[in-house]
C-alpha cells in the first residue's frame, strides 16, 4: 500500500511541497529511501508495486519518480508507456537507482526515459542532493514555460488589436508545421515553427495603432517604424533560452531570397530555413485575408502569386513548390476545402510533434480555430 509523509511545511503556505514517488518492492529499501528524503520539505509517496505507482502517477501531481533498475514486475511495460503519456501532458524527471558497474557503456538500458541515476551503494546525502537538483531544474523549466506563455498571450494582444487578423497566428503555425513536416524537419524545428507562428509579430506591440491599423499606404517614416517590429520582437524574446530557435524566425521572416527584404537584407539561403518556411506561409495567409488596405483573394489566386514571387526570386522556389504540393495546387476544389485540408492535417501532425513541455500542449488546446461552423477562407496577419 502507498504511504505518505506529510510535508514539514505549514498547510497554509502558498508554495506546494514537491511530490516525490518512490517505487521500491523491497520494504527495507523503500523505507531507507524515504528516510533519506525525510529532512527535505517533500511529500514522499511510496509504492511497493508498479500498479500502485501508476495509480499515484495518475492521481497525484507528481514532481519526480524514483525507482530501481531491473524491476521484476509483469506490468513494467505498462509503467513505461504510462510515464511517456503522462510526461506529454506534464513533464517530470525520473531517477533510477543502479549498480555502479551497470553505468558502464553498453550496460545502461536506453529503453527507459530517465534523466539521472543514483549509484549504489548510496548515502542519504547523495539521494537528497540528486533529487533536490532535479527538482530545482524542473522548477526552472516551469518558470520558463510560464514566461513563454505570457509572451504568447502578449503576442495575441497584437493580433486582437486588428479586427482583420483574427486567427492569423494559429493558422500560420499550422501551415508552417505542415510545410516543415513535409520537409522531414526535426521535432525541435517543428516546435520552433509552431511557436514562431504565434511570436513572429510580437514586436508589433511597440507599433502605434495609427501606423499598425492605417488604411492606405504608409509614409516612408511609418514604413521604417513598421519594419522595426522584427528587431523589437527579437529583443523581447531573446532572454528566453527556450526560444533560441524561434529568434531567427522573428527577426528574419520578412527577408527575401533576392536580398530585398528587411531588416538585414539577407540573400538566398543566408536567411534561416525556418524563417523562409514561415515567410511562405505568412504571405499565403496575407493574400487570402481582407486587410484595411486590400481585399482578400482566393487560395488559388494566392498560389499563383506565390509562384510568381518564386519565379521573380523573392521567395525560395523549392519551399514554394513544396507548399503548393501539400496544398493540392492546382487542384483546389474550393476555398473551404483548402482551409479544412491544411488545418485538419496540421492538427493531426501537431499532436505527434508537440511532445515536449506542458506549455506546448496547452498552446495547442487554446488555439483551435474559433469558428466551428463552416470553414471560411484563411484570415491573415499583416504582410507589412
Q: Which of 39-43, 103-107, 163-167, 183-187 has the lowest mean pLDDT?
A: 103-107
Q: Which of 25-39, 120-134, 350-364 has the lowest mean pLDDT?
A: 350-364
Model-level pTM? Answer: 0.56
The DSSP bridge partners found for residue 4 are 45
Looking at residue 329, its pLDDT comes to 60
The DSSP bridge partners found for residue 119 are 98
List pLDDT tens digits, range 68-120: 887 777 777 888 878 876 775 567 889 988 876 655 444 444 445 556 788 88
Looking at residue 106, its pLDDT comes to 43
| Whole-angstrom distance, CA of residue 66 vs CA of residue 127 | 10
In the chain, which residues fall in CATH 3.40.50.2300?
3-139
DSSP letters for 41-102: S-EEEEESSHHHHHHHHHHS--SEEEEESS---TTHHHHHHHHHHHHHHS---EEEEEEGGG
Nearest to 277 by CA among 369, 177, 203: 177
| Whole-angstrom distance, CA of residue 371 vs CA of residue 72 | 51
Strands 43-47, 19-23: pairing is parallel
Statement: residue 15 has pLDDT above 70: no
In the chain, which residues fall in CATH 1.10.3210.10?
161-366
Statement: residue 36 has pLDDT above 90: yes
Report which DSSP code applies to 268: G
Statement: residue 37 has pLDDT above 70: yes
Looking at residue 382, its pLDDT comes to 41
DSSP letters for 129-157: HHHHHHHHHHHHHHHHHHHHHHHHHHHHH
Please, are residues 313 and 287 in contact by the beta-carbon 8 Å criterion? no
How many CB atoms within 10 Å of residue 287?
23
Nearest to 176 by CA among 265, 102, 46, 276: 276
Statement: residue 121 has pLDDT above 50: yes
List pLDDT tens digits, range 349-361: 444 444 443 434 4
- H/E stretch holding 20 reads strand 19-23
**CATH homologous superfamily, domain 3-139:** Response regulator (3.40.50.2300)
Looking at residue 101, its pLDDT comes to 62
Question: Looking at domain 161-366, which CATH architecture does it have?
Answer: Orthogonal Bundle (1.10)
Looking at residue 112, its pLDDT comes to 53
| Whole-angstrom distance, CA of residue 292 vs CA of residue 379 | 12
Which phi and psi (to 5°) does residue 292 adopt? Answer: -55, -30
| Whole-angstrom distance, CA of residue 7 vs CA of residue 38 | 9
Across 26-35, 67-76, 78-87, 143-152, the highest mean pLDDT is recorded for: 26-35
**Grid cell of 2 as nine digits:** 502507498
Amino acid at each position: 500500500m502507498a504511504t505518505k509523509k506529510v510535508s514539514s511545511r505549514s498547510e497554509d503556505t502558498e508554495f506546494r511541497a514537491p511530490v516525490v514517488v518512490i517505487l521500491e518492492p523491497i520494504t527495507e529499501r523503500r523505507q531507507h529511501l524515504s528516510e533519506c528524503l525525510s529532512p527535505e520539505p517533500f511529500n514522499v509517496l511510496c509504492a511497493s508495486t508498479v500498479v500502485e505507482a501508476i495509480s499515484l502517477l495518475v492521481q497525484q501531481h507528481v514532481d519526480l519518480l524514483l525507482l530501481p533498475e531491473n524491476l521484476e514486475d509483469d506490468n513494467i511495460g505498462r509503467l513505461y508507456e504510462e510515464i511517456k503519456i503522462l510526461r506529454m501532458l506534464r513533464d517530470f524527471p525520473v531517477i533510477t537507482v543502479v549498480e555502479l558497474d551497470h553505468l558502464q557503456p553498453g550496460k545502461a538500458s536506453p529503453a527507459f526515459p530517465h534523466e539521472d541515476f543514483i549509484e549504489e551503494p548510496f548515502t542519504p546525502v547523495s539521494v537528497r542532493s540528486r533529487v533536490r537538483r532535479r527538482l530545482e531544474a524542473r522548477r526552472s523549466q516551469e518558470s520558463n514555460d510560464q514566461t513563454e506563455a505570457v509572451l504568447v498571450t502578449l503576442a495575441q494582444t497584437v493580433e486582437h488589436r486588428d479586427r482583420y487578423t483574427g486567427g492569423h497566428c494559429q493558422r500560420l503555425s499550422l501551415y508552417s508545421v505542415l510545410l516543415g513536416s513535409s520537409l522531414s524537419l526535426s521535432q525541435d524545428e517543428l516546435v520552433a515553427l509552431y511557436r514562431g507562428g504565434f511570436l513572429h509579430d510580437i514586436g508589433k506591440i511597440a507599433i502605434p495603432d495609427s501606423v499598425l491599423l492605417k488604411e492606405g499606404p504608409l509614409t516612408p517614416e511609418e514604413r521604417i517604424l513598421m519594419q522595426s517590429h522584427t528587431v523589437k520582437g527579437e529583443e523581447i524574446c531573446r532572454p528566453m533560452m527556450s526560444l533560441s530557435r524561434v529568434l531567427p524566425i522573428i527577426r528574419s521572416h520578412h527577408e527575401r531570397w533576392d536580398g530585398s527584404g528587411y531588416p538585414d537584407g539577407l540573400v538566398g539561403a543566408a536567411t534561416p530555413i525556418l524563417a523562409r518556411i514561415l515567410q511562405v506561409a505568412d504571405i499565403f495567409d496575407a493574400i487570402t485575408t481582407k486587410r484595411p488596405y486590400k481585399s482578400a483573394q482566393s487560395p488559388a489566386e494566392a498560389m499563383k502569386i506565390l509562384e510568381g514571387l518564386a519565379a521573380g526570386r523573392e521567395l525560395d522556389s523549392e519551399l514554394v513548390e513544396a507548399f503548393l504540393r501539400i496544398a493540392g495546387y492546382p487542384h483546389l476544389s474550393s476555398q473551404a476545402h483548402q482551409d479544412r485540408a491544411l488545418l485538419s492535417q496540421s492538427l493531426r501532425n501537431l499532436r505527434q510533434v508537440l511532445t515536449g513541455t506542458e506549455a506546448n500542449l496547452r498552446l495547442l488546446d487554446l488555439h483551435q480555430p474559433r469558428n466551428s461552423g463552416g470553414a471560411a477562407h484563411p484570415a491573415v496577419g499583416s504582410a507589412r
